[in-house]
A and B are shown apart, each in its own frame.
Chain A
């Protein structure tokens, strides 16, 4: 998995970075989903613990 997208320079002699790699898109979506799931779970557990007390 690449972090950047590359193209050949106009002089044909090297790779140049042309932007961020879109392969990372699912990872950013997953990061949001993980945060939501973990937060919701922690809140649910804390809520249950609070009711028990």
Chain B
């Protein structure tokens, strides 16, 4: 039984007016853009010196890393307590519709894919990949703070042996480089014309009722309505 099927069926919200539908609250949009800015600053401060643009990067990098850590913690708490975290978990309907869409894209026959809830399976899988990478980067990065002097502690490089430091630095490095790939893909999809209805919602917070009905199964995602 899917996550959506375990919830009691409720009639979809129908607005008296043909108003807009809230997709992302202001708090979540601010979180998204702060996270985007911190990830780009972290990637720039990490990789620009490596490719030849030398500057004093370490302080900028670890301080922005702390900001990212706090943002991620806030997101996890908010998503688990105040939001529907199950909306980001692929369910049976997502997998079924994803396979049907893949088959249709290859020119195969069969039943047409259904509409997703708030997030398509591709978005859910992308979120899962980014979550794994960012958590690995944050965890390894926090450990790496032990090797630098901060206002709060003096460096202690002997906390771990050299082999363990090698693993920590390797996790941080590989996950960071993989994030470059995923950020490129994310920006690409945000710029694709058929996804502009989503991209606009990350600025303004809402989608039109027509976009909501066109793209989503209204029984799987029932957002607050607002004119």
Which residues of A pack against B, CB within 8 Å? 4, 9-10, 16-20, 22, 24-25, 28-29, 31-33, 35-36, 39-40, 42-43, 46, 49
Q: Is the CB of B165 within 8 A of A18?
A: yes
Cβ-Cβ contact count across A and B, 8 Å cutoff: 63
What CA separation (Å) do A4 and B177 show in the bound complex? 13
Q: Which residue of B lies closest to A30 (CB)?
A: B181
Say if the beta carbon of B169 comes within 8 Å of chain A. Answer: yes
Contact status B180-A32, CB under 8 Å: yes
Instruction: Contact check, B51 vs A31: say whether CB atoms are below 8 A apart.
Output: no
* Chain B min CB distance to A41 (Å): 12
Q: A16-B166, A20-B174, A25-B50 are in contact. Are A31 and B105 (CB under 8 A)?
A: no
Collect the chain B residues with CB atoms within 8 Å of residue A22's CB: 50, 173
In terms of DSSP, what is the predominant structure of the interface of chain B? helix
**Residues of B with Cβ closer than 8 Å to A?**
47, 50-51, 105, 107, 162-163, 165-167, 169-170, 172-174, 177-178, 180-185, 188, 192
B162 in contact with A9 (CB, 8 Å): yes
* Contact indicator B177/A33 (Cβ below 8 Å): no
B47 touches A25 (CB 8 A): yes
Given contacts A16-B163, A19-B169, A31-B181, 5 further A-B contacts (CB under 8 A): A9-B162, A19-B173, A20-B169, A28-B181, A43-B192
Is there contact, CB below 8 Å, between A16 and B162?
A: yes
What is the distance, in angstroms, from B109's C-beta to the closest C-beta of chain A?
13
Which of A9, A18, A29, A40 contacts B169, CB < 8 Å?
A18
Known: A29-B184, A35-B185. A19 touches B166 (CB 8 A): yes
Complex CA gap A35/B105 in Å reads 16
Q: Which residue of B lies closest to A32 (CB)?
A: B184
> For residue A29, which residues in chain B have a CB less than 8 angstroms away from its CB?
180-181, 184
Flag if B51 contacts A25 (CB, 8 Å).
yes
Contact check, A25 vs B177: say whether CB atoms are below 8 A apart: yes
Can you report 6 A-B residue pairs in the complex whose CB atoms are below 8 A from each other? Answer: A17-B163, A19-B166, A25-B51, A29-B181, A39-B188, A40-B188
CA A46 to CA B188, docked complex, whole Å: 18
Shortest Cβ distance from A4 into B: residue: B170
| Cross-chain contact B170 with A19 (CB below 8 angstroms) | yes
